[in-house]
Amino acid sequence: MAEPFEIGRWFRHKVPPDYHVVIEGVAYSVPYRLIGKTVDVHRTASLISIFHKAERVASHARRVAKSATVRLAVSLDEHRPASHRAVMRLNPETVRATISAFGGAVAVLVERIFQDADHPEQAARQVAGLIRLGARYGTAALQDAAAAALMLSARPIAARFGPARTVYSRSFMAGEMLVLIDKKLKFDSFEVVC
């Protein structure tokens, strides 16, 4: 059975560094290897097809932009470079699941990081730093360092580290905790000023 002819419109775009071409306010992903290359885009009422040298390299269901201020993006995971796919896996749920295996003081510290963060994604990046420290120094060392950081942040004291930098417990941010933990793991000590 023959399909009815569907009228479409063609566009030509140079693929920008974010590997998305924008058609009528909606960004559609293109394989990242085509960054800087020219692609032809065919838009119909229901489909966006993207071609490079007459070969279809991407196909997306057409979406309609909801507002002029927020850009809708339609992205396929296989269009992203490996480093971008790795960052996309650093969502709060995945990071919490990974860190739950550590338990103890690390789990308490992670909950505090998520509570103090402005955005869950910000906390996820900081917790990913803890995961890397755990991989580098081991779980036991990370537990000790997390316990020390929690102890310091719970008392009205100032912890000094680096070139004369002081952080007080009221404003004790997760980033400073990570610096303390990294210093404790590297040097097995840091200076506390009461």
pLDDT of the chain along its 194 residues, tens only?
777 777 899 999 999 998 999 998 899 999 999 999 999 999 999 999 999 999 999 999 999 887 766 678 888 989 988 888 877 777 788 888 888 888 888 888 888 888 877 777 778 888 888 888 888 888 888 888 888 878 776 543 344 444 444 443 333 444 556 666 666 666 655 444 43
Instruction: Note whether 76 and 114 are same-domain residues.
Output: no
Instruction: Note whether 102 and 23 are same-domain residues.
Output: no
The C-alpha torsion from 1 through 56 and 23 to 69, rounded to 10°, is 110
pLDDT at 41: 97
Domain of 113 in residue numbering reads as: 89-193
Number of domains in the chain: 2
Instruction: Note whether 51 and 105 are same-domain residues.
Output: no
pLDDT at 112: 85
Instruction: Note whether 70 and 103 are same-domain residues.
Output: no
pLDDT at 129: 83
Instruction: Note whether 39 and 106 are same-domain residues.
Output: no
pLDDT at 193: 43
pLDDT at 176: 59
Q: What is the pTM of this model?
A: 0.53
Instruction: Note whether 30 and 106 are same-domain residues.
Output: no
Instruction: Note whether 95 and 160 are same-domain residues.
Output: yes
pLDDT at 68: 66
pLDDT at 159: 43
Among left, alpha and beta (phi > 0; psi -120 to 50; other), residue 54 is left
- CB contact burial 114-145 (16+ within 10 A = b; e otherwise): bebbeeeebbbbbbbbbbebbeebeeebbbbb
pLDDT at 184: 63
- In-domain check, residue 4: no
- In-domain check, residue 2: no
- In-domain check, residue 163: yes
pLDDT at 70: 63
